[in-house]
């Protein structure tokens, strides 16, 4: 059995070596995806475009505007002079936020009344609007603190803070979106390339007519499937290393945990991915059908149902159950645990068990279907 599996794997390696275009796609396509997604999919909101309608034009309002300009969050694009211009700037998206400073700002402030500064935020993109709102609160509170400190200093009163807020962010101190997304990109790229390449490999044998020769050989279905999978798992492991190195140089992503553990878990995930590719190849009769099915089964669940972009905990319960159909969901928890948190096996052993069950199920299912097809021919 071992010699027959190695013979099929050797044959597949030779075919891959001859197929220059496929090799280019296998090695260049993942890096291209990493670059495109890594820079395009970014939730960091920086340099918010702001227009200001200063109705008072006093020393206090100018001080407030200066505090906004010195902030790293906002870029002042225009000073507005009338109410009609507010709609224009928001409608044309020339500004993401319009700040309206009231006429009575100084009078209310020096009379110990609350000053109401209006922030008109473009709410089309709810996520961005919420971040802009948080930035506005932060800058306003900072300005408040500065004014209070100045008043207390004049009066010779030392400010006392009974409770001081000191947040500390673990695992991703800079709160960079890229560090959160890179593990998801790696998982998505690996499953897409593994599933598609394995699915096309077996279907190619059907289209060329060589599958009949294999069927009459001493090989059984399980040996054929394992032998066909070995080269693509090997290539995917090399791919994973290339992606990891590229993500380090492009986005500064580092592996905080064990590299050996990362290698073993990636190998198990690739087994699950190739088993899915095997199943698709068995039920497909042409490369076109196999490619369409492989793309649909690997790409869409990886993007939508894995937790790569959208948090699974915020999805409805029925959708949370459906997310279990993709192995990326479980590998992503492992990958983020090892790369970002530096955790060990005790933190994700349950995910590994699922990946092993997934692999065994689809390999056996593909073997049974392939055996029945070969028996009927």
CATH of the domain at 114: 3.40.1710.10
Looking at residue 371, its pLDDT comes to 64
- Is residue 298 in some structural domain? yes
Does 160 map to a domain? no
Pair 147, 230 in one domain = no
Tokens standing for 127?
């996520």
Among 295, 310, 232, smallest CA distance to 267 is for: 232
In degrees and rounded to multiples of 5, residue 76 shows phi and psi of -75, 120
User: Same domain for 143 and 181?
Assistant: no
342 CB-side CA count, 13 A: 7
- pLDDT score recorded for residue 334: 92
* Assigned domain for 133 exists: yes
Please tell me the predicted confidence (pLDDT) of residue 265: 92
- Quote the pTM value: 0.74
Question: H helices within the chain, ranges in order?
Answer: 2-18, 20-40, 59-69, 84-91, 105-110, 126-155, 177-208, 211-215, 221-251, 259-283, 287-304, 317-322, 327-336, 349-376
Whether residue 54 lies inside any domain: the answer is yes
Same domain for 126 and 264, yes or no, is: no
Asked if 36 and 53 sit in the same domain, the reply is no
- Alpha-carbon torsion (74, 76, 77, 78), positive or negative: positive
In a domain? residue 78: yes
Strands 97-101 and 74-80: unpaired
Q: Is residue 363 part of a domain?
A: yes
Is residue 162, in this structure, part of any structural domain at all?
no
Angle between helix 221-251 and 2-18 (nearest 10): 50
- 170 to 173, 203, 258, 348: CA distances (angstroms): 6, 47, 18, 19
What confidence score (pLDDT) does residue 311 get? 83
74: domain range?
48-155
Do 251 and 142 belong to one domain?
no
Residues 6+ apart with CB under 8 A from 332: 183, 184, 187, 306, 307, 308
Residues 199 and 269 in one domain: yes
- Report the 3 state secondary structure along 232-268: HHHHHHHHHHHHHHHHHHHHCCCCCCCHHHHHHHHHH
Q: What's the domain count of the chain?
A: 2
**Are the CB atoms for 257 and 344 separated by under 8 Å?**
yes
Question: Do 195 and 142 share a domain, yes or no?
Answer: no
8 Å CB contact between 190 and 332: no
Alpha carbon distance 186, 255 (integer Å):
13
Q: Within 13 Å and on the Cβ side, how many CA atoms surround 240? A: 25
Question: How far apart are alpha carbons 239 and 193 in whole angstroms?
Answer: 9
Nearest to 201 by CA among 16, 6, 362: 16
83 plus 136 within the same structural domain: yes
C-alpha to C-alpha distance for 214 and 7, rounded to whole angstroms: 12
Rounded to an integer, what distance in angstroms lies between the CA atom of residue 270 and that of residue 258? 18
Asked if residue 92 and residue 7 are part of one domain, the reply reads: no
Residues 76 and 122 in one domain: yes
- Is residue 171 in a domain? no
Q: Is 132 found in the same domain as 31?
A: no
pLDDT per residue rounded down to tens, the chain (377 residues): 667 777 777 777 777 777 777 677 677 777 787 777 777 766 667 788 999 999 888 888 888 888 888 877 888 888 988 888 888 888 888 889 999 998 888 888 888 788 888 899 988 877 788 888 888 888 888 888 888 777 777 666 666 666 666 777 777 776 677 777 788 888 888 888 888 878 877 777 667 666 555 555 666 666 777 777 788 788 888 888 888 888 888 877 888 889 899 999 998 998 888 888 888 888 888 888 888 888 888 888 888 888 887 888 888 889 889 888 889 999 999 998 998 888 888 888 999 999 999 988 888 887 777 667 666 65
- Tokens found for residue 213: 């020769």
- Tell me: do 317 and 368 sit in the same domain: yes
């Amino acid at each position: 059995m071992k010699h027959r599996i190695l013979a099929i794997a050797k044959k597949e390696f030779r075919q891959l070596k001859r197929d220059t275009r496929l090799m280019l796609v296998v090695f260049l396509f993942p890096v291209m995806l990493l670059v495109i997604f890594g820079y395009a999919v970014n939730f960091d909101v920086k340099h918010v475009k702001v227009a200001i309608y200063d109705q008072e034009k006093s020393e206090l309002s100018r001080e407030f505007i200066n505090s906004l300009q010195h902030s790293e969050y906002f870029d002042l694009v225009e000073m507005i002079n009338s109410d009609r211009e507010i709609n224009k700037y928001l409608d044309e998206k020339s500004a993401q936020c319009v700040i309206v400073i009231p006429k009575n700002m100084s009078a209310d402030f020096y009379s110990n009344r609350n000053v109401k500064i209006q922030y008109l935020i473009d709410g089309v993109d709810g996520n961005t609007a919420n971040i802009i709102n948080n930035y506005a609160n932060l800058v306003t509170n900072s300005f408040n603190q500065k004014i209070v400190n100045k008043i207390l200093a004049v009066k010779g009163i030392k400010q006392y803070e009974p409770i001081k807020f000191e947040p500390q962010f673990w695992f991703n101190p800079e709160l960079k979106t890229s560090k959160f997304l890179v593990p998801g990109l790696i998982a998505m790229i690996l499953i897409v390339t593994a599933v598609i390449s394995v699915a096309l490999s077996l279907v190619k044998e059907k289209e060329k007519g060589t599958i009949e020769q294999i069927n009459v050989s001493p090989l059984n279905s399980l040996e054929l499937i394992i032998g066909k999978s070995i080269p693509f798992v090997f290539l995917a492991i090399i791919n994973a290393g290339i992606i990891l190195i590229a993500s380090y140089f492009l986005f500064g992503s580092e592996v905080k945990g064990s590299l050996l553990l990362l290698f073993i878990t990636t190998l198990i995930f690739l087994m699950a991915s190739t088993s899915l590719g095997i199943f698709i190849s068995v039920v497909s009769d042409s490369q076109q059908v196999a490619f369409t099915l492989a793309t649909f089964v690997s790409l869409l669940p990886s993007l939508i149902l894995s937790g790569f972009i959208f948090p699974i905990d915020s999805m409805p319960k029925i959708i949370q159950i459906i997310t279990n159909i993709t192995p990326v969901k479980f590998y992503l928890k492992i990958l983020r645990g090892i790369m970002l948190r530096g955790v060990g096996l005790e933190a994700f052993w349950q995910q590994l068990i699922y990946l092993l069950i997934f692999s065994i199920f689809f390999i056996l299912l593909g073997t049974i279907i392939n055996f029945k097809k070969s028996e009927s021919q």
